[in-house]
Structure 1
Amino acid sequence: MTDVAFTHIGGPTVLIEFAGWRLLTDPTFDPPGRTYRFGWGTSSRKLTGPAVAAADLPPIDAVLLTHDHHADNLDDAGRALLPRAGAVLTTRSGARRLGSGAIGLRPGAAHRLTADGRPPVTVTATPARHGPPLSRPISGEVVGFALTWQGQDNGPLWITGDTTLTGPVRKTAQALRPGTVLLHLGGVRFPHTGPLRYTMTAADGLALLKGLSPTTVLPVHYEGWQHFREDHAAILDHTRKELAGPFTWLPIGSSRTVTV
């Protein structure tokens, strides 16, 4: 069993610390107030800043970047810290854009993180689709990440990434049977594209985990931007009757230690 500390910095940005490792998901450290263009007529304004400044982070062994082309997952300040990270794991197209040794993974491909005195960590990219069917050419390539290491008793740690509920994502959940899930929610919509959603709602998240027994589910990336349509209150309303035990709130700026 391993004690893993999660610190929610803001949005999808979480510092994960265990067994000497420090991993960072989707670095976003810009201050609030700016509007960012996401392409194809969509945009959003950042409403909440990070709880920790990039300059105040400890040394980072690896960045787990679900995608590089949307500023709510990688903004200017987050991009500036990438050269200081030991490794950057992301999509294949993202690795080409970033260069500088970034490692691109297709779903199902894995990369092994190793360091003296620490357990090796296998990071496997998992499928994600950041929008409705046929939207990938518009919304771009996205992956999630499953992390495994020796001594895990409760199943892998799974970071879903920004995705809607799809067949491949469901199959991944069933195959992984994760013990801990960083669950990207928010039910993203844009006025320009009407009722189409680009991330899971709470109902989608419950459907994804149906039949599984995760020990801990940490919802992330559901507040702090204009384009989210389901905030903490809406998610809580959906989840209080189902899977209420595993759902653990990780407010921005807070840390929680979970046994994995």
Structure 2
Amino acid sequence: MILTHIGGPTVLVELDGWRLLTDPTFDPPGERYSFGWGTSSVKLTGPSVAPDEVGAVDVVLLTHDRHADNLDRLGRSILASAGTVVTTASGARRLGGGSVRGLAAGASTVLPGGDVRPDLSVTATPARHGPPLSRPIAGDVIGFALRLGDAPAVALWITGDTVLYGPLRSTATSLPVDVALVHVGGVRFGLTGPIRYTMTGRDAVTLIGLTRPRVAVPVHYEGWSHFADGPSGLDAALAAAPDDVRARVRRLDPGVPTSVDD
């Protein structure tokens, strides 16, 4: 598996002949985006790879479509050229089109690989983008568990933007995961005070300890003003983490294709 971290939650995944793109965000930095209900954030860092440098994309894995830090204007331009887009059921209704597949947590779809690669099974995993009862405000979010062919193990788990809560803990302890992309950042907005909308570094350490993937790659914790925990929070959490957790974590250099098979 080769991962290229483009920025934020956006990662190009090359997996047994499949080219997958997570949460496409390619807008330049500097703009303030509304996140609804009076909240907003400024994009501070641009993508490490331009949209026209990504190449052909077989599947876009879109954890949710309502927030610009997961799908922005230039990111939307990639959806039309991708072979398949997998996202939430509500997001599929908004995006429309025959190539868009919507999933609720626990549901799966199988993408046929043909003669040159294995079939790809995509299962939606639970995610909650904030505290209890926040769904009407933050909207639906899912993660993705990917399996190749009839393999029982999960080749790649993408948590999506989520807090650490019961269903996520249960998923973490039940999935045999090889590689995990863990969305972190500890999102907070001044308008809603101490309420967090994604995992902090400490939450990520807890989740990695529960899942015990061979490799855990933290993403989506830098490049926006609403990441209250951010890189410093992740650094501090990893410094205090058990050796077993730290040994599993792999930080990616932006824009550099990196094999995680060794």
Give the TM interval when normalised to the shorter protein.
over 0.9
CA RMSD of aligned residues (A): 1.5
What residue number does 1:89 align with? 86
Distance (whole Å) between structure 1 residues aligned to residue 145 and residue 152 of structure 2: 15
What residue number does 2:53 align with? 56
What residue number does 2:184 align with? 185
Deviation, structure 1 residue 8: 0.3
Q: Unmatched 5+ residue regions in structure 2? A: none
Instruction: Give 1:188-203 correspondences, 5 Å limit.
Output: 188-203=187-202
What residue number does 2:23 align with? 26
Deviation, structure 1 residue 234: 2.4
Distance (whole Å) between structure 2 residues aligned to residue 100 and residue 60 of structure 1: 17
Distance (whole Å) between structure 2 residues aligned to residue 40 and residue 81 of structure 1: 28
- Aligned length, in residue pairs: 257
What residue number does 1:121 align with? 120
Deviation, structure 1 residue 255: 2.3
Q: Secondary structure, in 3 states, of the residue corresponding to 2:234?
A: helix
Deviation, structure 1 residue 214: 1.3
Q: Unmatched 5+ residue regions in structure 1? A: none
What residue number does 1:13 align with? 10
Distance (whole Å) between structure 2 residues aligned to residue 153 and residue 104 of structure 1: 23
Give the direction of change, closer, same or farther, for the CA distance of 1:236–1:153 in structure 2 (3 Å limit): farther
Q: Match for 1:247: what amino acid?
A: V
**Which has the higher relative contact order, 1 or 2, with Cα contacts under 8 A spaced 6 or more apart?**
1
**CA contact under 8 A between 1:154 and 1:215: conserved in structure 2?**
no
- After superposition, give the CA deviation of every residue in 1:73-107 in whole Å (9 maximum; x if it has no partner): 00000011110000000000000000012110000
**CA contact under 8 A between 2:2 and 2:13: conserved in structure 1?**
yes
Identical-residue share of aligned pairs (%) = 55
Is 1:37 aligned to residue 39 of structure 2? Answer: no
TM-score, normalised via structure 1 length: 0.95
**CA contact under 8 A between 2:208 and 2:216: conserved in structure 1?**
no
Distance (whole Å) between structure 1 residues aligned to residue 13 and residue 40 of structure 2: 29
- After superposition, give the CA deviation of every residue in 1:46-77 in whole Å (9 maximum; x if it has no partner): 00101111111110000000000000000000
Q: 1:248 aligns with which of 237, 245, 250?
A: 250
Is 1:228 aligned to residue 230 of structure 2? Answer: no
Q: Secondary structure, in 3 states, of the residue corresponding to 1:78?
A: helix
Q: Secondary structure, in 3 states, of the residue corresponding to 1:22?
A: strand
Distance (whole Å) between structure 1 residues aligned to residue 151 and residue 200 of structure 2: 29
**CA contact under 8 A between 1:163 and 1:184: conserved in structure 2?**
yes
